[in-house]
Structure 1
Amino acid sequence: MAVDPSAVVVAVATALGGLVQGADLPAQVKDQATQAIHSFQATSPAANQQVDSVIGMLPQQMQSPARQVVQDAANAVQSAVDPYLPPPPPPAPAPTPVETPPPPPVAAPPVARTATEGRDIADVPFVGDLSRTVSSLDAAFPGANLAPIGSIAVFVPWFNKAGALCDGIKAPIIAALYNAENGFRYGPTAPVSRDGARGPGQFMPGTWAKYGKDADGDGKADILGVADPVMASGHLLCDMYAQIDEWKKQGVVKGDTLDLTLAGYNAGVEAVRRAGGMPNGAPDYEHQTKPYVKRIRESEPVFAAILAPLSGTDGSVGGRVVEAALRYLGLPYVWGGGNINGPSNGGFDCSGLTSYAVYSATGDTLALPRTSETQWNIGTEIPMSEARPGDLLFGNWQSGGPGHVAIYIGNGQMVHAPQTGDVVKVSKVFDGMKVRRIL
């Protein structure tokens, strides 16, 4: 099969990433190598365009042979990296006949199934491309526009440290801000804004001169690093928060203090003072600053959910249940998919995901029944107000019991495998759900 140049770039990056992560290397060396691979992979969208442009400059009679040469080279590279790529999932078997055949994959009410199959919001067989592996986190965290989870993880300890500097600024807000600023890109290849702002915190030279410090003890204040910009952002945000809070007490500005602080990070704190609140009127304020603040505040709960398991939570079994489920963010929903050993047929259904997460988190000692109805019989029902990470949430109530089960993360969020055509994702807890503590 023909392989285009951009696909080769992605394949090479994937292969290199696997080799780096599997090698016995110091953490710092791995981080540097991973950053280089991310930068290389970022060139893939332009690869085809660049090749086409060059070929287009050749005489007409040479263009067809040139394209063949490029294709042959692409195929050769693909063959070379194939041994290092992750194996594709096995092909999906035909759906097992059941007592009551499921309806076709269109809007339809749930149907009864046998106890070995699982029962979710949409009880229909999975149809689609089962060769797809974990997708981007945009599907797993709808509307959040997230960077890859691996890019976020290296920042987490520093987000937590910076988020403890003052009461008004917490780690999820700083994480959401860094996602909005430049998607957690750091190092020499981190983009520079049109105004000259640099690094993952997008600091202007004057602001960095004041706040840039050596936070990680490596002997330099690195605007392109991780620790130094995050801690600088934490101190800057805390200073602005305190200043805006004081202005509010004086009647100089009005509005939500955190919203105005984020606006100050984007437009400058003096812009907040001049406007007497949220900067407005100018095109940059209307089309950049206001959407920037809105995006950060809306994604704050998402980053609270991400940071909890990446931070190791409190070491509880419930925290490990959440972490186990989050490993499969973006994996397709598959009707009857998954069990205590992990995904099957390319994915999970809702009770397959909970079965796996609980079994994995408990050291292979607690195997839940396979369906949402039977899982409801395990443990003790508790009020929603007392829910903690790792508790099971049940919904889509019918005559036979709950038709859906999810895992509570905290902050009103849950991780679950919703329905056919969707993926394992984080969502707000549905209305009418009930909580069961099984651990």
Structure 2
Amino acid sequence: MSDPISVIATIVINATGAIDNANLPSGAKASAQVAVESGGKAATSLSARLDHAVAQLPEPAQQAARNGIQGASDHIAAMMSAPNALRAQSDTNHEPVRTRTDPAESHRQPPATRIVPAGQFPDSQGTVGPTRSIVIPVPDAAAAPPAMTSGRIAAFVPWFQQAGTLCSGVTAPTLAALYAAENGFHYGPDAPVSPAGALGPGQFMPGTWAVYGKDVHGTGRADVFDVGDSVMASGHLLCDDYRQIQSWKAKGLVTGDTLDLTLAAYNAGAAAVLRSHGMPSGSADYENQTKPYVARIRATEKDYDWLQQASDLLRPATDIGTRIVADAMKYLGIPYVWGGGGSNGPSMGGFDCSGLTSYAVHTASGGTITLPRTSQGQWHVGTEVPLPDAAPGDLLFGNWGPDGPGHVAIYLGNNRMIQAPQPGDSVRISPVMPGMHARRIN
């Protein structure tokens, strides 16, 4: 399951299965299957197309279809998010990679396959059913997709923001992209352990953890499986390497982009950077693993820009608009869930677009304002204001159709908004979409 076509095919199979199990007339069932299959084949944005296709179903069948799609998507994301790694081997030219026992050496794990036993793959309704065992190769770093779709990133958001302030060269988006590459935001004692023995969300070898692992919660023990302990340890390690590489560059010992070399050091060890006088080279491991690892992180940093924007935009709430923003910000990274959330907070594990706005407005107003549950209903509350005059906390409406807006978000300022975008995504900060209109609720 290492190519997008396999992912698309599996999701479409699950969507079609959900339709097959729905109690629909044969004509409606056939039309829905055609719509879903067409969406799977032609989608430039798969989740958006499937969402549209399922929306064509009668209301009683929609949730079953969505559950099947979401279950398949989450399972695929989990299978594909296990980190790639360098082989734990050495030769006469370089130190053993991904087996470091001190902060100067690499600490990651070798490549692997994952066996999914019979009975652990979701069936067409998103539940576990009997199927044959399959062996799934872990994808290369450069090919693995971002793992934030599962919503696991929510637990990491405040720690990425905190660790992203330790030094100027390592930001929250960089840390998020690195953790997506390392372990797909898995955490806790049940998170994958590498064949080389690397542990936790940051995949630390015991020797490295002994140096960088610190208790950030005051529990008296640095826990390699804990999100906060791990992210802060990674932040300190990266910043130490960043400063070391800057020093080497000043002395003419290495050349190259400092952050690129810092990420290479996290993967292959700082000694490899120094010995190569820059990006590690001269080994198949470095060419096939370290360089793609660095390239993937740098290419996906932009997917997590909203983490930095969240830090920049969040400020003390002095009126209802800024309180709306602050209350929505608390749920950055929580999964999109169709029909999820409302005035009392998330439900079924997340929010949809109007569930998020319902919660933020209700909470910010002290419970005095309860919005209608849908974006179409919310459009009729408050007063429309020209988009150039929108203020933080105003609601933004888009995806217009015959019945009104199909999407709602919260304006942040500077042409940015916070939204629960679509199935498979999470609450995030995004640019304002073309064609949006603003309304002021208070």
Name the TM-score, length of structure 1 as normaliser.
0.53
- 1:184–1:200 contact (8 Å) kept in structure 2: yes
Distance 1:220 1:414, change over 3 A: closer
Distance 1:311 1:283, change over 3 A: same
The match for 2:336 among 330, 338, 350 is 330
- 2:371–2:381 contact (8 Å) kept in structure 1: no
Give me the whole-angstrom Cα distance separating, in 1, the residues matched to 2:432 and 2:76: 20
Instruction: Look up the equivalent residue of 2:431 and give its one-letter code.
Output: V
- 2:332–2:427 contact (8 Å) kept in structure 1: no
Distance 1:234 1:401, change over 3 A: same
Instruction: Look up the equivalent residue of 2:235 and give its one-letter code.
Output: G
Instruction: Look up the equivalent residue of 2:368 and give its one-letter code.
Output: T
Q: State yes or no: 1:234 paired with 2:240.
A: no
2:63 counterpart residue number: 130
Distance 1:158 1:431, change over 3 A: closer
1:288 counterpart residue number: 289
Q: State yes or no: 1:358 paired with 2:361.
A: yes
2:141 counterpart residue number: none
- 1:350–1:417 contact (8 Å) kept in structure 2: yes
1:350-389 correspondence runs (5 A) = 354-355=357-358, 357-359=360-362, 361-367=364-370, 374=379, 378=383, 380-383=385-388
Instruction: Look up the equivalent residue of 1:198 and give its one-letter code.
Output: L
Give me the whole-angstrom Cα distance separating, in 2, the residues matched to 1:275 and 1:366: 62
2:83 counterpart residue number: none
Aligned residues: 317
- Cα deviation code 1:298-349 (max 9, x no counterpart): 554555647988999546321213556965x3323x8xx99868999xx998
- Cα deviation code 1:339-398 (max 9, x no counterpart): 868999xx99866764565345534433557656946973534549x875x543444579
1:57-206 correspondence runs (5 A) = 125-126=56-57, 129-131=62-64, 132-133=66-67, 136=74, 143-146=145-148, 149=151, 152-153=154-155, 155-186=156-187, 188-206=189-207
The match for 2:419 among 415, 421, 424 is 415
SS of the counterpart of 1:289? helix
2:431 counterpart residue number: 429
SS of the counterpart of 1:436? strand
The match for 2:409 among 402, 406, 409 is 406
- Cα deviation code 1:1-31 (max 9, x no counterpart): xxxxxxxxxxxxxxxxxxxxxxxxxxxxxxx
1:317 counterpart residue number: 324
Distance 1:433 1:259, change over 3 A: farther
Q: Percent identity?
A: 49
- 1:138–1:144 contact (8 Å) kept in structure 2: no
Instruction: Look up the equivalent residue of 2:280 and give its one-letter code.
Output: P
Instruction: Look up the equivalent residue of 2:258 and give its one-letter code.
Output: T
Q: CA deviation at 1:178?
A: 2.9
Bigger radius of gyration:
1
- 1:409–1:415 contact (8 Å) kept in structure 2: no
- 2:331–2:427 contact (8 Å) kept in structure 1: no
Distance 1:331 1:410, change over 3 A: farther
Give me the whole-angstrom Cα distance separating, in 2, the residues matched to 1:338 and 1:224: 29
1:81 counterpart residue number: none
Give me the whole-angstrom Cα distance separating, in 2, the residues matched to 1:147 and 1:123: 19
Give me the whole-angstrom Cα distance separating, in 2, the residues matched to 1:403 and 1:330: 15
SS of the counterpart of 2:63? coil
Distance 1:151 1:323, change over 3 A: closer
SS of the counterpart of 1:203? coil
- Cα deviation code 1:98-120 (max 9, x no counterpart): xxxxxx96899xxxxxxxxxxx9
Give me the whole-angstrom Cα distance separating, in 1, the residues matched to 2:381 and 2:270: 52
Distance 1:164 1:323, change over 3 A: closer
- 2:399–2:405 contact (8 Å) kept in structure 1: yes
- Cα deviation code 1:75-112 (max 9, x no counterpart): xxxxxxxxxxxxxxxxx999xxxxxxxxx96899xxxx
1:64 counterpart residue number: none
- 1:159–1:175 contact (8 Å) kept in structure 2: yes
Name the TM-score, length of structure 2 as normaliser.
0.52
Give me the whole-angstrom Cα distance separating, in 2, the residues matched to 1:338 and 1:215: 31
- Cα deviation code 1:37-67 (max 9, x no counterpart): xxxxxxxxxxxxxxxxxxxxxxxxxxxxxxx
Instruction: Look up the equivalent residue of 2:383 and give its one-letter code.
Output: I
Higher relative contact order (CA 8 A, sep 6+): 1
Instruction: Look up the equivalent residue of 2:63 and give its one-letter code.
Output: L
Q: CA deviation at 1:265?
A: 0.6
SS of the counterpart of 2:203? coil
Give me the whole-angstrom Cα distance separating, in 2, the residues matched to 1:299 and 1:265: 17
Give me the whole-angstrom Cα distance separating, in 1, the residues matched to 2:238 and 2:226: 18
Q: CA deviation at 1:247?
A: 3.5
Instruction: Look up the equivalent residue of 1:321 and give its one-letter code.
Output: A
- 2:396–2:410 contact (8 Å) kept in structure 1: yes
Q: CA deviation at 1:238?
A: 0.7
SS of the counterpart of 2:409? strand
Instruction: Look up the equivalent residue of 1:286 and give its one-letter code.
Output: E
Instruction: Look up the equivalent residue of 1:261 and give its one-letter code.
Output: T
Instruction: Look up the equivalent residue of 1:320 and give its one-letter code.
Output: D
Q: CA deviation at 1:237?
A: 0.7
- 1:222–1:229 contact (8 Å) kept in structure 2: yes
Give me the whole-angstrom Cα distance separating, in 1, the residues matched to 2:163 and 2:353: 36
Distance 1:325 1:151, change over 3 A: closer
